Amino acid sequence: MWQSFGPPVLLSVCAAVLSQRVCGTLTKYRVHANVASRFVRTTVTLQLNNSNNCTDIGIFTLQLPREARLSDMYLTTSDGCERHSVVLEKAQASATFAAAAGQGQAAALISAYDVSIMKLSVAVPPETSAQLEVAYEEVLVRKGGLVTLVLPLAPGSPTESVEATLNISEPESGITSLSCTPSANGAEGGIVPTISLGPTTGYGSFATEGSASVFVPATASLVAGGLAERVACSYKPGPLPEEGLLLFDNSAHVLFLLNPPSLSLDGVGLSRVIVLVLDVSGSMSGQKLADAKTAIAAIMNTFGLGDVFKVATFSSSMPMDSWGPLPATADNKASAQNFIQGIEAGGGTNLHDACVEGIKLVGSMVTSWQVPILVLLTDGRASSGVTSTSAIRAATKVANSEIGASVYALAFGAGADYGLLLGITLDNQGSTRMIYEGYGDAAWQITNFFKDEIGSVLLGKVSMQFSGVTINEQTASEFPLLAAGSEIVVRGRAEGLGSLLTATTTGWGSGGPQSFATSRLLAPADASLAPGAGARGLAHVRIGELMDAVAAETAAGAAALASELKTAALARALGAGIVWPGLTSLVVVEGASCLGGAAKFLQELPAAPAICPNGAQAAPTGVSHSLDYASSARAPALGQLALALAALAGLGPP
């Protein structure tokens, strides 16, 4: 999900030269996203020009989708010096940066708790242009039938040219539709995406490629304070084969996708038993409780006639009050909404009883062929009853050992015990979602989570297994359910090519046990998984799984196991060159080409150039900065460019 952190800003600090105060400009901002096999790599290119006789120091923000991770950065100057990024362990990265800075070299460092939003400080020498490229990657997920990504058009400074392009390739499943939508302000400003779909595929005769382009008119890109816009693009993949789709690349990475069309066509979902447990402790008072009430009302509207549900509240004890259980008829949903509107907040937070008693409530309601679900919404940490996180987690697992309910948690705000909730849901076939405050959309976040994760259930207790070929590494293959509009996704790495690989999936459907199996010969000539998407997609998901386990085990007090898991995650991040919060940092270093030309001349100056007022740097006496800007994709610029980047911390879970 994309998080909006408000319009980014550019602060330029220039020296007073000949009684004039002058600052440089951001001349071009370009975004290019390339999507293949549910994986996207996006490159943001910034072209800066400083035609003034002072060093322009700019500070602006780069906003990323919340699940995106940085992978590369490039800086090039016209003296032939190219600076490229290296991903290192955090401490080593900091030491490398300090050493380079101490030697007077240009360097950059990105180190963050959460890199959803980065603050960049850029110093461009006098009469110089420069180009910076930042690349990030993200594993895309199909929800509500659509795969969605965001093109960030937020340079944060008046910019002469702002544009974005998107290319999508789905050669086997195909693409049935593609749309790109700017915000209301963007549409009013004349931002109109251009969409096209490419040639068709044999399976289903759907387009295999899609593209979009966005050009921002100067009337919008040059506004004071800079453009702060986003364009959301969604495409609908074609229907998958009934037994699932197996893709692989020439390095034996495999991708399995499953969403049997027959399950969606019959329109019959599994009956659900749902217990909604709401924290009404004192900290939930005010806007939080209002948002929770709005979201639960919206969630109940999605319940079908076959569902049975109950609402319970907790604070110092559980339940404080409750409604149900009753079938999800229109009258019963209206009655439950009246109950919810009368809820008031007060007291402590008894997470132990909320989890254990909540699971017991689910168990007392469920019958055969129903999907048991517990949804817990809380904003705090255990303060009443049993407060040991390890004891709460263990007790929840024991209580659920025979019931087998899927437990989902909504961690409302920064004060929630995310690690504990994550551990509980990992133990109990569910997931945890962080709900961010302060953006005016908490109710929307909660409602979307429910629709995406626990919507109309096509299959329950889903399990997938590979056979026929040794799989050396793979992502999770057990799933509590398959919701309509989503898909089962498993990534892995086979021992080699040339053998027959089979993927077998089992689960419970409305008609009883279901089984699906598909096989494919891993013949090099038939490889269709996009180059890079297999290896890097696997790395992203595996690191995420490992870091979730680190948070869960840390909360449970299992320090040794958490350390072991973190070491494995670090090795994976370093091997793939991915900047991951809490693990790795990105350092920009100078290549061998940086030893000649103007860079060498500047390094050989007897003393560093004088620092001018306001922190700007004057041009060395006698140095000419005549512009010689090339037209290549990484066009260099003259002069020495100093860059420092640091990501803002504390914006999300570790």
Same domain? For 227 and 313 the reply is: no
* 6-17: pLDDT as tens digits: 222 222 333 222
* 97-133: pLDDT as tens digits: 666 655 545 455 654 434 466 655 555 666 777 788 8
Q: Which pLDDT score, from 0 to 100, does residue 297 have?
A: 86
Domain of 259 in residue numbering reads as: 250-268+456-527
Contacts of 426 (CB under 8 A, 6+ apart): 548, 549, 552
Tell me the sheet residues that pair with 272: 371
Same domain? For 277 and 190 the reply is: no
Of 425, 452, 479, which one is at a domain's C-terminal end? 452
Note every long-range contact of 366-369, with CB atoms under 8 Å and residues 24 or more positions apart, other chains counting: 366/273, 366/403, 366/405, 367/273, 369/270, 369/271, 369/508, 369/510, 369/512
* 367-383: pLDDT as tens digits: 877 899 999 999 989 99
pLDDT level of residue 628 (50, 70, 90 thresholds): very low
Same domain? For 172 and 87 the reply is: yes
**In the predicted model, what is the mean pLDDT of residues 515-540?**
94
* 438-474: pLDDT as tens digits: 767 778 888 888 888 888 888 988 999 999 999 999 9
Same domain? For 470 and 419 the reply is: no
Higher pLDDT, 531 or 515: 515
> Is the pLDDT at 33 greater than 80, yes or no?
yes
Same domain? For 517 and 419 the reply is: no
Phi, psi of 160, rounded to the nearest 5 degrees: -65, -35
Whether 99 is in a domain gets the answer yes
Q: Distance of CA 395 to CAs 382, 388, 398, 428, 556, Å?
A: 14, 11, 5, 12, 12
Whether 486 is in a domain gets the answer yes
Residue 249 to residue 106: CA distance in whole angstroms: 38
Whether 545 is in a domain gets the answer no
pLDDT level of residue 32 (50, 70, 90 thresholds): very high
* 309-352: pLDDT as tens digits: 999 999 998 988 999 999 999 999 999 999 999 998 999 999 99
pLDDT level of residue 202 (50, 70, 90 thresholds): low
> Is the pLDDT at 488 greater than 50, yes or no?
yes
Contact 240, 516 (CB under 8 A): no
* 55-91: pLDDT as tens digits: 665 555 667 777 889 888 887 765 566 777 778 777 7
**In the predicted model, what is the mean pLDDT of residues 542-548?**
94
Whether 462 is in a domain gets the answer yes
Of the candidate ranges 26-30, 47-51, 166-170, 355-359, the one whose mean pLDDT is the lowest = 47-51
Same domain? For 191 and 334 the reply is: no
Whether 223 is in a domain gets the answer yes
Percent of the chain exceeding pLDDT 70 equals 76
Residue 534 to residue 591: CA distance in whole angstroms: 29
**SS3 state of residue 34:** strand
Higher pLDDT, 536 or 651: 536
Same domain? For 386 and 469 the reply is: no
- Mean predicted lDDT score pLDDT of the chain: 79
pLDDT level of residue 570 (50, 70, 90 thresholds): very high
Domain count, the chain: 3
* 203-229: pLDDT as tens digits: 557 888 999 999 988 888 888 767 778
Same domain? For 125 and 228 the reply is: yes
